[in-house]
Chain A
Amino acid sequence: MASSTISSSSSSFINQKDVNFPCFTPKCCKPITKNVVSVMAPQQSQRTPSSTGSVKNGMTMTEKILARASEKSQLRPGENVWVNVDVFMTHDVCGPPAFDIFKKEFGENAKVWDREKIVIIPDHYIFTKDERANRNVDILRKYCTEQNIKYFYDIKDLGDFKANPDYKGVCLAQEGHCRPGEVLLGTDSHTCTAGAFGQFATGIGNTDAGFVLGTGKLLLKVPPTLRFVMDGEMPDYLLAKDLILQIIGEISVSGATYKSMEFVGSTVESLSMEERMTLCNMVIEAGGKNGVIPADATTYKYLEDKTSLPYEPLYSDEQARFLSEYRFDISKLEPLVAKPHSPDNRALARECKDVKIDRVYIGSCTGGKTEDFVAAAKVFLASGKKVKVPTFLVPATQKVWMDVYSLPVPGSGGKTCSQIFEEAGCDTPASPNCGACLGGPRDTYARMNEAQVCVSTTNRNFHGRMGHKDGQIYLASPYTAAASALTGYVTDPREFLQ
């Protein structure tokens, strides 16, 4: 389902090579080459017999992490193993059912496997009058108290998020729960975001979660890895969101099903942690099981003040075998959007300039981090004009909200994001939470309650995703979203940034 509008420049920077890898089940054998343009001679990536005399095969990062977590010295894709979980995360939507299942299966008086390895973050349906939603946070609190959960980011005062010292919003990485080499499972498909830290992180359902709560283990099948090598200097009108939209458009929404996505290359190394998180965040939109980026100095710097727990990063072996390798010359990429109604419906932003829009949404774990807001502010600053459509800003976490109100934007003469947003006529930044990314209860701020066209920095644009069944969502980077807000049409940010 890759977009049919692959630009003329795409052929010069895509090349793909298929390494035949033994598949162990029908599920991982789906051919993935159907929509890919191959323009260069295949490169040698299989190890030659002379390069190693050892019996052991090289493993990819994902294979190594799962091997260590399942206490095995060697693993191959396709194997099913019981994996030790380092951190388990849940939230207000899935927490209550997960705990209910845990109690049903392990007993009313059962205790969780480790009260310090569980992170509970109410973040989905928080600022709403919906009684069931509010009740679910109360249920979470009851369980956390019962189980003496160490990391419960509680919220009691729904009217003023700042009145709750513990409440954070979407905050796993920020609170230091992501560490290289670890296994993180969460009841949210975007748990894969944490792969940016060089760990195995993936989403699971409530029943699996109930199992993890009781045992600290889960049966997982080892995925083969797709490798994405990105080189070239990142142009100043591109963001990580454009990179991942490029990839999803290339391999389709099922291109990475049951597979791991490994992102390497000089461009990736140049990305900040937040940008790396954006990249890994949408791995699930390609069907991916998990995404990984090798930990490096950038990672360690980020973690310095956030965690005191020791960690041991793992890296893909030289001789690791990848299912396929894709290479991109990032310097040739242009700003992209994913048109309705699929994240792989890739198109150039400039080719959609006649699409009139009704609103812009900047928020979510994908595009509502501090750097995302700074990026949007840069575009508004460069323009100096006001937005032409309602522009909703929803910081992902409390810290992001505070940054928006306190961090000076480079080149602005000391103005904060919030000041720039106000001058541009955007809505006041809202209470931090997952917000309208997934619609939610009817009174959710910025929920799409009418059939409108929206440019959004979020992660999915399926029918009804942000609320209204006939809504049309264009997924985009914060640069593109801000540019579009200024014109009232889908707009390439180079209109303002160059």
Chain B
Amino acid sequence: MAAATFSSLSHKISISFSPTPNKSFLSYSSPNLLNLPSQTPNLPSLSTISPKPSLSLLATRPRAAASDVPATPATAFHGVCYVVGDNIDTDQIIPAEYLTLVPSNPEEYKKLGSFALIGLPVEKYPTRFMTNNEFSSKYSILIGGDNFGCGSSREHAPVALGAAGVKAVVAESYARIFFRNSVSTGEVYPLESEKRLCEECKTGDVITIELAESLLINHTSGKEYKLKPVGDVGPVIEAGGIFAYARKAGMIPS
């Protein structure tokens, strides 16, 4: 069997759907532009801030299932935050013994979520991210320090967080592979803070993140913080992950 070359592949293969969660709210422009949204679409804004953790993303995220309808775009995240420190490595996010779970299997994806952050040492984190028998955490926003996600390349790390219900991570800085995996999968939205928010916020604080203004609002403390613009990966995140981006860029057929 002849190996398909890249160009012939594009003529032979048909793409059935785009399952990657769509956080885009901009139409694709150019791969090299650093784009911040110039206009936000008409979406209902959150007029009342409720501490209920269930009030979160505007976007729905189809997981492990085909979806022909693109999800509504996200402009904000709202929920209760869980705060961790520096150098949270992938062994803490999802210990290796759980890596036999294959994320593309819906049952195992859900199970993976139940083990998210289970590796955090108890003495340092007495308030656990998730309690036993839970599949979804009440914390939908993760706030971290430096070098978040260091260690292994296991994509199970951002996937477990996403499966557990984390919508966004706000860290001072990221380890490269974790950041990349977050962007490629679209499982969690990786944001960078200007300050050490892990020292400014406490687990349980109610947070809103306004993407358009790159702003994080801590309703519990009443303080606001600037976030860093998303940078070069903006177009990839906006497209909804590496596959969606590649389709928009014409690298692979739609």
User: In the assembled complex, which residues on chain A have CB atoms less than 8 Å from the CB atom of B177?
Assistant: 189, 203-205, 284
A464 to B91, CA, bound (A): 7
A80 near B246 (CB under 8 angstroms)? no
Contacting pair A463 B91 (CB below 8 A): yes
Kindly state whether residue A385 has any CB partner on chain B within 8 Å: no
Tell me which of A253-261, A264-272, A273-281, A485-493 binds B: A253-261
| B100 x A125 contact (CB < 8 A) | yes
Q: Indicate if B3 sits at the interface (CB-CB under 8 A).
A: yes
Residue of B nearest to A134 (CB): B100
B96 within 8 Å of A (CB atoms): yes
Would you give the shortest CB distance from B161 to chain A, in whole angstroms?
13
Question: Which A residues are in CB contact (< 8 Å) with B173?
Answer: 27, 30, 254, 257
Per the 8 Å Cβ criterion, residues 340-358 of A in contact with B are 342
Residue of A nearest to B119 (CB): A464
Give, as a whole number of angstroms, the nearest-CB distance from B241 to chain A. 7
Judge whether A228 is part of the interface by a CB distance below 8 angstroms: no
Contacts of A284 in B (CB 8 A): 177
Say how far A95's CB is from chain B's closest CB, in angstroms: 10
In the bound complex, residues from chain A placing their C-beta under 8 Å from that of B101 are 132
On chain A, the residues within 8 Å of B252 by CB distance are: 106, 214-215
Contact with B along A71-115 (1 / 0, CB 8 A): 000000010101000000000011011001100111100111111
Q: With A462-B151, A463-B91, A464-B95 given, is the CB distance from A207 to B102 under 8 Å?
A: no
B contact face: mostly helix, strand, loop, or mixed: loop
The CA-CA distance from A189 to B5 in the complex, in Å, is 28
Give bound CA distance, A469 to B121, whole Å: 7
Q: Let me know if A39 is at the binding interface, CB within 8 A.
A: no
What CA separation (Å) do A27 and B190 show in the bound complex? 13
User: Is B129 close to A, CB under 8 A?
Assistant: no
Which of B1, B96, B246 counts the most chain A CB atoms within 10 A?
A: B96
Choose among B92, B105, B147, B181 the residue that contacts A208 (Cβ–Cβ < 8 A). Answer: B181
State whether B231 touches A27 (Cβ < 8 A): yes
A444 to chain B, nearest CB (A): 8
Of the candidates B99, B104, B158, B175, the one having the most CB atoms from chain A within 10 angstroms of its own CB is B99
CB of B182 to closest CB in A, whole Å: 9
* A-B interface pairs (CB < 8 A), number: 190
Nearest chain-A residue to B194 (Cβ)?
A26
Q: A384 vs B241: C-alpha distance in the bound complex, in angstroms?
A: 58
Residues from chain B with Cβ under 8 Å of A82 in the complex: 251
Contacts of A174 in B (CB 8 A): none
Residues of chain B within 8 A of A221, CB atoms compared:
232
Q: Complex Cα distance A258/B175, Å?
A: 8
Residues of B within 8 A of A188 (CB): 152-153
Per the bound structure, the CA–CA distance linking A30 and B176 in Å amounts to: 13
**Contact call B97/A26, Cβ cutoff below 8 A:** no
Task: Check A254–B9 contact: CB distance below 8 A.
Answer: no
The answer to whether B32 has its CB under 8 Å from any CB of chain A is: yes
Chain B: minimal CB distance from A376 (Å): 25
* Contacting residues, chain A, for B86 (C-beta < 8 A): 1
**CB of B192 closer than 8 Å to a CB of A:** yes
Residue in A1, A96, A132, A219 whose beta carbon sits within 8 Å of that of B87 in the complex: A1
**Which chain B residue shows the least CB distance to A221?**
B232
Enumerate chain B residues within 8 angstroms of A133, measured Cβ to Cβ. 100
Of A107, A116, A124, A208, which contacts B15 at CB under 8 A? Answer: A107
| A residues less than 8 Å from B192 (CB atoms) | 26
Does B13 belong to the interface (CB within 8 Å)? yes
Q: Does A368 count as interface, using CB distance less than 8 angstroms?
A: no
Whole-angstrom CA separation of A343 from B99 in the bound complex: 22
Q: Per a CB cutoff under 8 Å, which of B3, B6, B91, B155 touches A462? A: B91
What sequence of 0s and 1s flags, for each residue 110-148 of chain B, a beta carbon within 8 Å of any chain A beta carbon?
A: 000000000111100000000000000000000000110
If A26-B229, A110-B13, A206-B103 are given as contacts, then 9 extra A-B residue pairs at C-beta distance below 8 Å, sorted by A number, are A101-B104, A104-B19, A105-B19, A113-B9, A211-B184, A215-B252, A463-B92, A463-B119, A464-B95
Top 4 closest pairs, chain A to chain B, by CB: A205-B155, A100-B104, A203-B153, A205-B181
What are 24 A-B pairs at a CB distance below 8 A?
A27-B173, A27-B174, A97-B104, A97-B155, A115-B3, A130-B100, A136-B100, A188-B153, A191-B153, A203-B177, A204-B153, A204-B177, A205-B154, A210-B243, A215-B6, A219-B242, A253-B150, A439-B96, A441-B97, A460-B89, A463-B121, A464-B91, A464-B92, A469-B119
